[in-house]
Every structure is written in C-alpha cells, then in structure tokens.
Amino acid sequence: MSEAEVITRIEAGVGRITLNRPKAIHALNRSMCEAMIAALLEWREDAAVKSVLIDHAGERGFCAGGDIRMIADSGASDGVDAKAFFLAEYRLNALMFGYPKPITAIVDGIVMGGGVGISEPADVRIATERTTYAMPETGIGLYPEVGGGWFLPRLPGQTGVWIGLTGARLKAADTVALGIHTHFVPSDGVETLKADLLAEAADPAAVAARHAKDAGPAPMTAHREAIDRLFAFDAVEDIFAALEADGSDWALTQLATLKTKSPTSLKVTLRHIREGAKAASFGDNMAVEYAVSGRIGATHDFQEGVRAVIVDKDNAPKWSPADLLGVTDATLDALFAPPPDNEKWTPLA
C-alpha cells in the first residue's frame, strides 16, 4: 500500500477512502481528516462517482479514535492545534452526515471514538465478527463527541446513555440489534462484498442486504429492561443510586465500572446526551461539541486520563474532583457555554 495515511481513488464509479495508518489502528489526525474532506468535496459534484466506500488497511481494526496524545499536549499549552483538529474532524463528520451520495463504511475490527465519527454518518454500516464498538471517553476524562450527542440519544431506550457513561464494548450482534451498524457480514466475505459494491456502485444498500448474515442473539437484550430503567435519570447521582438499590450482579458491575470513570466526564456526558436529544440538527450538535471539546482538553481530568492510559499506562488516574458531588453545575455551564461568534464552529460550504 501507499505510505499515505489516507488513500483516495475512484474505482468503477465508487469513491474509495482507505485508512492507512495501521500501526496506530488508523487513529485520526488533522491531515487524515483534511484528506478525506478534500476527496469528498471533489466527488460530491462528480457524476462519475455514484457512491463512497470507506475501509481500512490491515486487520487490527477500522479506527481506534483520534490523536489523543496531540490533543492533550495542545490542551496543556495554547490549545490551537487541538482546536484545528476538532474543526477539521467535525467538519468531516458533518460533511459525511449530509452527503448527497450513499456512503458505505466497512467497520471490520476496532471502532472507537473518532472511528465512530466517520462510520455512523454512513448510510450503510457493515460490522463483522471482529468488530468491537465503544465510546470509551469517560475513562480518559473526555466525553463521547464526534457526533455522539446526536447518535447516542437516538439509540433505543437508554442504551445510548449506558454506552456513553460506561464505555461498554459491544460486538456485532449488539451493534446490529441497536442499529449502530446496519448489516453483519462475516470477515471472510468482505472482499467479495467490496467487489460487488464496485460492480453495483449506485446501490450499496441492496448489495449489503444480499451479503448480510444473521449476527446472532444480542447479549445486551437480557439487560435492556434494566438499562432503560436504571439509566433513565437526568442526574448521574440518581443513576448511581438506582444501580445500587437494584443490587443485581449486573447493576453492581455497571456501578463499579462507573466509579472508575472521571466524575466530571460522567456529568458532561449525561448533559450532552440529554441536550443532544433536543438538538434541531446534526450541525447544531457539532457546534456544541466544538465548544466543549475546545475547553475540555485543558482540564485536569483529560490531562490525567491521557497520562494514566496512554503515556504512563498505569491505568490509575487520579480524578479531580474525585467524586460526583465535587462537579458543580457552574463547572458544566462553563464547559457548555456558547463561544464568541468568531470562535464558533461552522460547517463547510
């Protein structure tokens, strides 16, 4: 393969985007986002391009997220590089969401964070038995952005709240059952699927439907009633209390997981999901995320989360505040405050 981190080309009427940073599991950086934007803008008015296909090189995964180390380093200084990355990434997410031609994403392997942002807007989202989906941001002092405020509250019941708060890792049976991914195709059938997508460029949904198999029973189904009941509150403290009062093994496991997460991130995430449910448009949600993300990179918990998980790898972050009571409404209001007009996020023309 080319040394380029994103390979773009047109094949048989399909605009092809291949992520090509396998050693980093295709973690997104600004130049990768800009390369994808450039290709999508070029193909948008090209009558020869009937649809778009996004896939990845290698077998480790589709995309593990964004360039978290860079965001933390930037947040520790002036934040300029982090904001530039978020501007490009969120413009890419919005461009994909409103794209006039069908987009297919083949999500074979790990898909987390930024990888969710470049697959959820696709019309056809194909999982395999190797797919592992998660929004694990609360474990590093961040929150589920890249459109998470739009997609998570629109999942069935309270499953989006559960996913966003706990960072639950889901396999294809669950993701297809929830509608996160539209089809399940075994990994050994992916190359044949791609060949057929090139042969029938104008109708990728029909091609995917022909190749789709049964993903099997969804393990999460056994816990749907509990999820919808215990994660239905508008305060994280109430969710904690409900899980403790329930007392089942599953509920107490969720509670134990939540207690390892950044208290600030948990409250930011729940507010974001609840407010995102009321957003008038995807673009409105992305404007909120740009404001919050531009500020949260400088916070103690994000810096500490990256240190613990990515830099030192001791997986022992020391959150501050250390408990939910210490996270005030004033702190949340400051993070969510609208930015000045000259610093607001804007979509591409």
- Tell me the DSSP string of 222-250: GGHHHHHHHT--SSHHHHHHHHHHH--HH
Contacts of 284 (CB under 8 A, 6+ apart): none
Average pLDDT over every residue of 258-267: 98
Q: Has residue 264 been placed in a domain?
A: yes
Please choose, from the candidates 158, 153, 108, the residue with its C-alpha nearest in 3D space to the C-alpha of residue 133. 108
In a 3-state reduction of DSSP, which class is residue 56? strand
- Residues 95 and 159: their CA atoms lie apart, in Å, by 26
- Tell me the CATH number at 39: 3.90.226.10
pLDDT at 75: 86
Q: Has residue 166 been placed in a domain?
A: yes
Q: Has residue 275 been placed in a domain?
A: yes
Residue ranges of E strands in the chain: 6-11, 14-19, 51-56, 61-63, 103-107, 110-112, 124-127, 132-134, 183-184
Cβ neighbours, 10 Å, residue 148:
25
* Whether residue 1 has pLDDT greater than 70: no
Whats the size of the chain, residue-wise?
Answer: 349
* Whether residue 80 has pLDDT greater than 70: yes
pLDDT at 196: 98
254 vs 349, higher pLDDT? 254
Residue 246: alpha-carbon gap to chain centroid: 30
Q: Has residue 1 been placed in a domain?
A: no
pLDDT, tens digit (0-9, with 9 covering 90-100), for 86-100: 999 999 999 999 999
pLDDT at 2: 64
Tokens linked to 345: 């996020």
Average pLDDT over every residue of 278-291: 97
Average pLDDT over every residue of 63-89: 91
Domain total of the chain = 1
195 burial type by CB count under 10 A (0-12 exposed, 13-18 middle, 19+ buried): exposed
pLDDT at 328: 97
Q: Has residue 322 been placed in a domain?
A: yes
Q: Has residue 348 been placed in a domain?
A: no
Tokens linked to 247: 């007392």
Instruction: Give the structural domain span for 191.
Output: 6-343
Residue 46: alpha-carbon gap to chain centroid: 29
Q: Has residue 245 been placed in a domain?
A: yes
Question: Taking a C-beta distance cutoff of 8 angstroms, is the pair 182, 122 a contact?
Answer: no
pLDDT, tens digit (0-9, with 9 covering 90-100), for 119-169: 999 999 999 999 999 999 999 999 999 999 999 999 999 999 999 999 999
- Rg of the chain over Cα atoms, rounded to whole angstroms, equals 20
pLDDT at 76: 87
